[in-house]
């Protein structure tokens, strides 16, 4: 099985970090992965996106034109990538930041107030990890244990507070899906 994902937002939202953790998690599970980052010249506040492919077989190309999943944290990214999402694909977006989206009718949609959830639970900067928790729960692509291990290996030693904060945010994303059972908007 192969899943192609585009993750988009603004620089500073942890878009590339989310994609990197997802790819690393797949690698820890002995899957084939690609992670391809892209960001504007401004970096913080500019556009940022990445593509991730996780597969049980060799990946032919890291280029993703029509993703199975789109995860976005900005309206600009939603507008830019939504039309590329495959029919019946999954769109996950931060409804705390994207208030009045115009959405397609032929896709599965999860509106998740990730920024609001992360703010209530300690750090607004972990909204990306709330989205990751929701995504791994809905997709079953990688295990939570692999994501936690990827976090521990990626974040520099001595930053256990940051690791714990991100784990908590992932757990809140998982809890959101379990409590809502993945209801569409």
Please choose, from the candidates 11, 12, 15, 25, the residue with its C-alpha nearest in 3D space to the C-alpha of residue 3: 25
Residue 184 has pLDDT above 80, yes or no: no
CATH superfamily of domain region 2-180: Pyruvate-ferredoxin oxidoreductase, PFOR, domain III (3.40.920.10)
pLDDT tens profile 11-23:
889 999 999 999 9
Judge whether 42 and 11 are in contact, CB under 8 Å: yes
Q: For residues 44 and 13, give the distance between their C-alpha atoms in angstroms, rounded to a whole number.
A: 8
Q: With the CA atoms of 64, 68, 73 and 74 taken in that order, what torsion angle do they form, in degrees rounded to the nearest 10?
A: 70
pLDDT tens profile 76-116:
999 999 999 999 999 999 999 999 898 999 999 999 999 99
pLDDT tens profile 29-71:
999 999 999 876 655 667 899 999 999 999 999 899 999 999 9
Q: How many angstroms separate the Cα of 183 from the Cα of each of 54, 110, 145, 150? A: 25, 7, 25, 28
| Residue-range domain boundaries for the chain | 2-180
pLDDT-derived band of residue 7, with 50, 70 and 90 as boundaries?
very high
If you search the block for the tokens 């945010």, which residue do you land on? 169
pLDDT-derived band of residue 168, with 50, 70 and 90 as boundaries?
very high
pLDDT tens profile 118-161:
999 878 899 999 999 999 999 999 999 999 999 999 998 778 88
């Amino acid at each position: 099985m192969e899943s192609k994902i585009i993750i988009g937002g603004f620089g500073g939202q942890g878009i590339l970090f989310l994609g990197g953790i997802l790819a690393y998690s797949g690698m820890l599970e002995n899957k084939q992965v690609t992670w391809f980052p892209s960001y504007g010249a401004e970096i913080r506040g500019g556009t940022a996106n990445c593509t991730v492919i996780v597969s049980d077989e060799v990946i032919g190309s890291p280029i993703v034109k029509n993703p199975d999943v789109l995860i976005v944290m900005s309206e600009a990214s939603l507008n830019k990538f939504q039309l590329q999402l495959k029919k019946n694909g999954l769109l996950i977006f931060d409804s705390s930041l994207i208030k009045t989206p115009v959405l397609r009718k032929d896709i599965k949609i999860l509106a998740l107030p990730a920024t609001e959830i992360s703010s209530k639970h300690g750090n607004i900067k972990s909204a990306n990890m709330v989205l990751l928790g929701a995504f791994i729960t809905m997709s079953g692509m990688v295990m939570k244990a692999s994501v936690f291990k990827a976090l521990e290996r990626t974040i520099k030693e001595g930053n256990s507070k940051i690791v714990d904060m991100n784990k908590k945010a992932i757990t809140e994303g998982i809890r959101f899906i379990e409590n809502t059972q993945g209801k569409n908007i």
